């Protein structure tokens, strides 16, 4: 069928092809069918949507991934991409071959799968799992797409946390310590997807985080390290597409998680990696046994890829550090590096311990406590910030959270029994983080602390009173920090 083209702007990564209902009928094309589009310069495929108004009879509407196609075009029905057969095979709980996993990764990368197909892939991997061999093939296939970084030093240190813990901004501190110890650590991090702040959002408080590969190479040459946004360098980009289907289902299948993390590390050229696996109530991994199993999987797959991985199983039931939100976490980072009294002990301890692990893993003998307390880590951090275009002498005192604030206070005295990561993250997002860099919250007590009625449990910061009130009312409903009376079994009488 010969059609004219029109460009349609809908925010979708999928190559949607809007056909007038009459043209779709004529073609025999149903919604979600694929069509082949031939135009003067080539051939591509897209996924059919029907419409009565958005395009006219005789015109085909093309969304962004197809905006380079200009009419007239010949449109014919096309079959499903071959990886749909492999997805069905995984739904049937059969072992996938290397080539099948490569085809799935390629089709995801080229946006050839519809949402229905992508979700079936994620669901199949979640329901039926991936063997060690499948995970290794998947990791390799994912890492071979996108950019590849290479470094001249034989040891390239890296770290990753599987996430789910509020605050937990150990990365900038670790990078500063490890680089100060003379080890190369070119760190790429993500921005927040469903959390109130990714490491890249925190670093953006200090300096630019979007750098080209050339710029990253010169930053690393100068300081032994960098702290940049990974999205700017396109490492293992297939991961982002897969996450798009995992998020609405709140699933994160283990084999996929291992492949996603290690493919990024492989593309980044990392040789020695510490993976932080926080476990506990409400964390991604609930039990110590599950954390150990995941750690073993990481090590086994990494072995096959020639990456030296060491896993740190850590406490994940409550936050690390006090701040939640870009500026508030950046303050915690500086407090630790500057050795201030305000430094949250949980963040300081975890940063020291993981740095020791990583340096030991790299075969480097260094006194981490001395690097931190001597101010050499702070100095290195400031050099990195300067190399990334920030103000080098930034200090704790310069960072101001959003002006509107309110404290959530204990309505009874007793022991703090629960500091809920997920509820605190929801609260910080409601207050405006990460879009408002200065919005978020500060957590006051830790689990086990004694509390008097009226003591502040957390302080919420927001740019506007409207946002502040929204967050405060959410806090009432979520009760993110729970206190149990030592003397009364009754919580309240109604």
* Interacting residues with a second copy (CB under 8 A): 8-12, 18, 21, 25-26, 28, 30-33, 49-54, 80, 84, 87-88, 91-93, 114-120, 122-124, 126-128, 193-194, 244-245, 247-251, 429, 435
Give the C-alpha separation, 364 to 256, whole Å.
32
CB of 30 to a second copy, least distance (A): 7
Which residue, 115 or 356, has its beta carbon nearer to a second copy?
A: 115
Q: Whose CA is closest to 206, among 228, 180, 234?
A: 228
Give the C-alpha separation, 33 to 54, whole Å.
19
Which residue, 127 or 213, has its beta carbon nearer to a second copy?
A: 127
Q: Whose CA is closest to 161, among 264, 248, 244?
A: 264
Instruction: Find out whether 390 and 425 touch, Cβ atoms under 8 Å.
Output: no
CB of 314 to a second copy, least distance (A): 26
CB of 81 to a second copy, least distance (A): 10
Which residue, 11 or 42, has its beta carbon nearer to a second copy?
A: 11
Q: Dihedral of CA 244/326/157/146: which sign?
A: positive
CB of 85 to a second copy, least distance (A): 8
Question: Per the residue annotation, which of 23, 201, 252, 420 is the catalytic one?
Answer: 252
Tokens found for residue 344: 């949250």
Name the DSSP letter for residue 64: G
Alpha helices, H only, 388-464 = 421-430
CB of 344 to a second copy, least distance (A): 26
CB of 9 to a second copy, least distance (A): 4
End-to-end CA distance of the chain: 70
Question: Rg of the chain's alpha carbons, rounded to an integer?
Answer: 25
Which residue, 50 or 103, has its beta carbon nearer to a second copy?
A: 50
Give the C-alpha separation, 185 to 228, whole Å.
11
What residues are paired with 156 via a beta bridge?
Answer: 184
CB of 11 to a second copy, least distance (A): 3
Which residue, 74 or 407, has its beta carbon nearer to a second copy?
A: 74
Give the C-alpha separation, 165 to 145, whole Å.
29
Tokens 């960098």 — which residue? 226
Which residue, 84 or 225, has its beta carbon nearer to a second copy?
A: 84
For the beta carbon of residue 370, count every other beta carbon within 10 angstroms.
12
Tokens found for residue 400: 């101001």
- What does residue 176 show for φ and ψ, rounded to 5 degrees? -65, -45
Give the C-alpha separation, 355 to 431, whole Å.
32
Which residue, 18 or 335, has its beta carbon nearer to a second copy?
A: 18
Element (H, E) at 38: strand 34-39
Which residue, 21 or 403, has its beta carbon nearer to a second copy?
A: 21
Residues across the chain:
494
Per the annotation, the verdict on 33 as an active-site residue is no
Which residue, 114 or 143, has its beta carbon nearer to a second copy?
A: 114
Give the C-alpha separation, 136 to 158, whole Å.
20
DSSP 240-266: HHHHHHHHHHT---HHHHHHHHHHHHH
DSSP 326-372: HHHHHHHHHHHHHT-TTS-HHHHHHHHHHHHHHHHHTT----HHHHH
Instruction: Find out whether 474 and 441 touch, Cβ atoms under 8 Å.
Output: no
CB of 298 to a second copy, least distance (A): 22
> What are the distances in angstroms from CA 60 to CA 9, 11, 30, 48, 165?
13, 17, 15, 10, 47
Give the C-alpha separation, 408 to 324, whole Å.
15
CB of 248 to a second copy, least distance (A): 5
- Please identify every residue annotated as catalytic: 252
């Amino acid at each position: 069928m010969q059609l004219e083209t029109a460009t349609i702007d809908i925010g979708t990564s999928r190559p949607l092809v809007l056909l007038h209902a009459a043209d779709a009928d004529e073609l025999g094309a149903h919604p979600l069918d694929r069509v082949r589009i031939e135009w003067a310069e080539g051939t591509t495929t897209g996924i059919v949507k029907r419409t009565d108004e958005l395009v006219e009879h005789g015109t085909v509407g093309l969304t962004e991934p197809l905006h380079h196609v200009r009419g007239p075009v010949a449109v014919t029905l096309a079959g499903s991409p071959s990886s749909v057969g492999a997805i069905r095979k995984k739904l049937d709980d059969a072992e996938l071959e290397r080539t099948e996993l490569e085809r799935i990764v390629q089709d995801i990368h080229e946006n050839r799968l519809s949402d229905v197909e992508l979700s079936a892939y994620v669901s199949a991997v979640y329901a039926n799992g991936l063997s060690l061999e499948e995970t290794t093939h998947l990791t390799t296939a994912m890492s071979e797409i996108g950019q590849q970084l290479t470094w001249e030093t034989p040891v390239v240190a890296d770290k990753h946390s599987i996430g789910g813990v509020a605050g937990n901004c150990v990365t900038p501190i670790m990078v500063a310590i490890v680089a100060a110890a003379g080890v190369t650590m070119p760190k790429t991090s993500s921005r927040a997807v469903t959390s109130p702040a990714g490491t890249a959002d925190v670093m953006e408080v200090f300096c630019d985080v979007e750098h080209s590969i050339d710029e990253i190479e010169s930053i690393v040459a100068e300081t032994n390290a960098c702290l940049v946004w990974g999205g700017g360098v396109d490492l293992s980009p297939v991961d982002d597409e897969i996450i798009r289907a995992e998020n609405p289902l709140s699933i994160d299948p283990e084999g996929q998680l291992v492949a996603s993390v290690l493919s990024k590390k492989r593309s980044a050229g990392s040789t020695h990696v510490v993976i932080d696996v926080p476990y506990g109530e409400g964390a991604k991994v609930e039990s110590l046994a599950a954390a150990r199993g995941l750690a073993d999987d990481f090590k086994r797959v990494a072995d096959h890829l020639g990456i030296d991985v060491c896993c740190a199983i850590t406490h994940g039931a409550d936050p690390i550090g006090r701040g939640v939100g870009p500026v508030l976490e950046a303050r915690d980072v500086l407090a630790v590096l500057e050795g201030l009294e305000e430094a949250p002990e949980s963040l300081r301890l975890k940063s020291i311990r993981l740095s020791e692990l990583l340096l030991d893993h790299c075969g480097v003998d260094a006194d981490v406590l001395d690097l931190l307390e001597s101010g050499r880590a702070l100095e290195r951090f400031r050099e990195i910030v300067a190399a990334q275009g920030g103000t080098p002498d930034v200090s704790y005192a310069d960072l101001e959270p959003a002006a509107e604030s309110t404290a959530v206070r204990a309505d009874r005295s007793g022991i703090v029994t629960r500091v809920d990561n997920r509820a605190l993250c929801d609260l910080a997002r409601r207050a405006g983080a990460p879009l408002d860099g200065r919005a978020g919250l500060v957590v006051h007590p830790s689990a086990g602390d004694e509390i008097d009625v009226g003591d502040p449990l957390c302080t919420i910061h927001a740019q506007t009173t409207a946002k502040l009130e929204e967050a405060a009312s959410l806090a009432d409903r979520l009760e993110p920090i729970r206190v149990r009376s030592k003397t009364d079994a009754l919580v309240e009488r109604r």
